[in-house]
C-alpha cells in the first residue's frame, strides 16, 4: 500500500463506509427500522473479510505456535467473575449530561470540557459521574438480584477463570498462552466512527502466562510481534505506531501497556493494547474463588503465580483498519478505478471466475474451473454484465485474481488470469491453474 494516498484523503472515511454498504461488507443493524447506531451487521463480503482477519490472527497466535492453546468461553458470566476482575468497581467511563439539550458525553472525549458538543452551549455540562460499561441481564425466569449475569466486556476473564483447567489438561507450562476470539459487549457512552467503537464487537485476545522474572522480556516481545502482524498483512509501517501509555492512562490491572495504533482519517486510534497485567488476575480470582491458581515448577521446586502479558486486539476494529489501509483510487482510461489492495490472506474472495459472455457454450468450462478452484480457495463466479464492469466489481471487493474464460478457451484450453493491483494479464493452460494459484496464493 502506498504511503501517500489513502490517509491524506479527507473523504476516505465516507468512501469506505459507502463502499461497505454498496458491496455488502457492513450494514447498519436493523436498518429497515431506522438503524441501531451502536451495532453493525456483516454482509456477504464483510463476513468473509472478518473471518479472514480472525483466521489470520488464529494462525499466527495459535496454529503456528507450540506454546499457545485456544479457548471458547461463554459470553454470559456471573457477578463474582466481575467482582474479582475489578470490572464491577472500575470498568467505568466519566459521563456528563448537557442541562440544555439533554445529550450525554464522555468527559474524556470532549474537546472543550465547558462546552456541549451537541448544542454548543457553554457551562451547561454537569459534573462527571462514573458510568459502568457492563451490560447486565438476568438468567432464568425470575429477574431478581440472584439471577443477575453480565455479558462479558472482554474475552480475557474466560482465560483466567479457566487457567487451572487448561493447565491441567493441555500439558503446557509457563511460558504458555491461552487465546480466544469472540464477542464482547460494552455499553459505550459514545459509540461511533463506523465499527471503530460499537456496543457489540469482537475481540482477539491472548493471555500469555510467564514466570514473573521473564515478564518484561515477554512484554517487549509481544509488542513487537503484534506490530509485525499488521505490517505482515499489508498495512504500511508509516500508518502504524506503538505508543506506550502514560502512567495516568493505565488500566486498573496494568503495570505497563502499549497500544498498536493506526492512522485513521481522523488521527491515530488504538487497534490493540499489549498489557503487562502482572499477577493481578490470577491472584484476584484465587482470592475470590478460593481455588489455587498458581504453578508448581518441579525443576526449580518452586510455586509461583505466573504473570500475564496480554495482547488484546479488536477483530472488527482491525477489519476497519485493513479496509481503510487497502482502499485506493486511480485513474484508468479517464475513469476512476476503486480498488481494495487487500493482502490475499484477507481478501474475501481469492479468485473470481468470469466467463466472457453469458453464452451457454462457455458455461461448462467456466463452471468446471469454478468447481475445482472452490474446493481450495474462496472463489466467486459471476457471468452477468460486461467484463469491464465485473473486473471493477472484483477490484472493489479486493479479489486478487480474476480468471476469464473466453471463446478461445474452448480451442486452446487456456484462460486469462488478471491480477488486481497491476491489472496485468497472463494466459495459463487450464491444467496448470491449480499449480499457478498454489504458487501465488498459498
- Assess contact for 253 and 281: CB atoms under 8 A: yes
Backbone angles phi, psi at 303, to 5 degrees: -105, 135
Is 256 one of the binding residues for ligand GAP (CB under 6 A)?
Answer: no
Choose the binding region for ligand GAP from 18-26, 99-107, 288-296, 312-320 (rule: CB under 6 A).
312-320
Nearest residue to 321 (alpha-carbon basis) of 145, 185, 196, 170: 196
Task: Extract the C-alpha cell encoding 334.
Answer: 479517464
Figure out which of the listed residues 9, 107, 270, 328 binds ligand GAP, where binding follows CB under 6 A: 270
Is 54 one of the binding residues for ligand GAP (CB under 6 A)?
Answer: no
Nearer to ligand GAP among residue 188 and residue 214 (C-beta): 188
Angle at 107 between CA 105 and CA 109, to 5 degrees: 85
For the chain, the straight-line distance linking the first and the last C-alpha, in angstroms and rounded, comes to 20
Is 253 one of the binding residues for ligand GAP (CB under 6 A)?
Answer: no
Is 261 one of the binding residues for ligand GAP (CB under 6 A)?
Answer: no
The least CB distance from residue 222 to ligand GAP, in Å, is: 13
Pick out residues in 205-244 that bind ligand GAP (CB under 6 A): 205
Is 312 one of the binding residues for ligand GAP (CB under 6 A)?
Answer: yes
CA distance 153 to 157: 9
Residue at shortest CB range from ligand GAP = 314
Backbone angles phi, psi at 146, to 5 degrees: -70, -20
Q: Alpha helix locations (H) across 215-340?
A: 215-232, 280-289, 315-326
Is 198 one of the binding residues for ligand GAP (CB under 6 A)?
Answer: yes
Nearer to ligand GAP among residue 149 and residue 159 (C-beta): 159
Nearer to ligand GAP among residue 288 and residue 376 (C-beta): 288
The least CB distance from residue 313 to ligand GAP, in Å, is: 6
CA distance 73 to 62: 16
CA distance 276 to 246: 14
The least CB distance from residue 36 to ligand GAP, in Å, is: 14
- Assess contact for 25 and 45: CB atoms under 8 A: yes
Is 286 one of the binding residues for ligand GAP (CB under 6 A)?
Answer: no
Nearer to ligand GAP among residue 93 and residue 406 (C-beta): 93
SS3 63: helix
Is 174 one of the binding residues for ligand GAP (CB under 6 A)?
Answer: no
HEC letters along 112-135: CCCECCCCCCECCECCCEEEECCE
SS3 252: coil
Q: Is the peptide bond before 175 cis (omega within 30 degrees of 0)?
A: yes
Rg (CA), the chain: 25
The least CB distance from residue 200 to ligand GAP, in Å, is: 8
The least CB distance from residue 275 to ligand GAP, in Å, is: 7
x-or-dash string of contact with ligand GAP, 362-401, rule CB under 6 A: ----------------------------------------
Figure out which of the listed residues 19, 45, 98, 154 binds ligand GAP, where binding follows CB under 6 A: 154
Choose the binding region for ligand GAP from 173-181, 196-204, 336-344, 415-423 (rule: CB under 6 A).
196-204
Provide the binding-site residues for ligand GAP, judged by CB under 6 A: 154, 156, 186, 188, 197-198, 201, 203, 205, 270-273, 310, 312-314, 316-317
Amino acid at each position: 500500500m502506498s504511503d501517500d494516498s489513502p490517509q491524506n484523503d479527507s473523504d476516505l472515511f465516507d468512501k469506505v463506509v459507502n463502499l461497505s454498504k454498496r458491496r455488502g461488507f457492513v450494514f447498519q443493524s436493523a436498518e429497515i427500522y431506522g438503524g441501531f447506531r451502536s451495532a453493525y451487521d456483516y454482509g456477504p463480503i464483510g463476513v468473509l473479510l472478518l473471518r479472514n482477519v480472525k483466521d489470520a490472527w488464529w494462525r499466527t497466535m495459535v496454529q503456528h505456535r507450540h506454546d499457545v492453546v485456544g479457548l471458547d468461553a461463554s459470553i454470559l458470566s456471573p457477578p463474582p467473575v466481575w467482582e474479582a476482575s475489578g470490572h464491577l468497581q472500575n470498568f467505568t467511563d466519566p459521563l456528563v449530561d448537557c442541562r440544555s439539550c439533554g445529550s450525554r458525553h464522555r468527559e474524556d472525549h470532549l474537546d472543550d470540557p465547558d462546552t456541549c458538543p451537541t448544542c454548543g452551549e457553554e457551562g451547561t455540562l454537569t459534573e462527571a459521574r462514573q458510568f459502568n460499561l457492563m451490560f447486565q441481564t438476568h438468567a432464568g425466569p425470575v429477574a431478581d438480584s440472584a439471577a443477575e449475569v453480565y455479558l462479558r466486556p472482554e474475552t480475557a476473564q474466560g482465560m483466567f477463570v479457566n487457567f487451572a483447567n487448561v493447565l491441567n489438561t493441555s500439558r503446557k507450562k509457563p511460558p504458555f498462552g491461552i487465546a480466544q476470539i469472540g464477542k464482547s459487549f460494552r455499553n459505550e457512552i459514545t459509540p461511533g466512527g463506523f465499527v471503530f467503537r460499537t456496543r457489540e464487537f469482537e475481540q482477539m485476545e491472548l493471555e500469555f502466562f510467564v514466570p514473573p522474572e521473564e515478564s518484561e522480556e515477554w512484554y517487549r516481545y509481544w509488542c513487537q510481534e503484534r506490530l509485525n502482524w499488521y505490517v505482515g498483512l499489508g498495512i504500511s509501517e508509516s500508518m502504524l505506531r506503538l505508543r506506550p501509555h502514560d502512567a495516568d492512562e493505565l488500566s486498573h490491572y496494568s503495570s505497563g501497556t502499549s497500544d498498536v495504533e493506526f492512522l485513521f482519517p481522523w488521527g491515530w486510534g488504538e487497534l490493540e493494547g499489549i498489557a503487562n497485567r502482572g499477577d493481578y488476575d490470577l491472584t484476584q480470582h484465587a482470592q475470590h474463588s478460593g481455588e489455587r491458581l498458581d504453578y508448581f515448577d518441579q525443576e526449580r521446586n518452586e510455586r509461583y503465580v505466573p504473570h500475564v502479558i496480554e495482547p488484546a486486539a479488536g477483530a472488527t476494529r482491525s477489519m476497519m483498519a485493513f479496509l481503510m489501509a487497502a482502499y485506493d483510487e486511480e485513474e484508468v482510461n479517464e475513469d476512476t478505478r476503486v480498488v481494495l489492495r487487500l493482502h490475499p490472506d484477507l481478501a474475501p474472495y481469492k479468485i473470481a471466475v468470469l466467463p466472457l459472455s453469458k453464452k451457454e457454450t462457455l458455461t461448462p468450462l467456466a463452471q468446471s474451473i469454478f468447481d475445482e478452484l472452490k474446493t481450495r480457495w474462496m472463489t466467486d463466479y459471476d457471468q452477468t454484465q460486461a467484463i469491464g464492469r465485473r473486473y471493477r466489481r472484483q477490484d472493489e471487493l479486493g479479489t486478487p485474481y480474476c480468471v476469464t474464460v473466453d471463446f478461445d478457451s474452448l480451442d486452446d484450453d487456456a484462460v486469462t488470469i488478471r491480477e488486481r493491483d497491476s491489472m496485468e494479464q497472463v494466459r495459463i493452460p487450464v491444467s496448470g491453474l491449480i499449480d499457478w494459484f498454489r504458487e501465488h496464493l498459498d
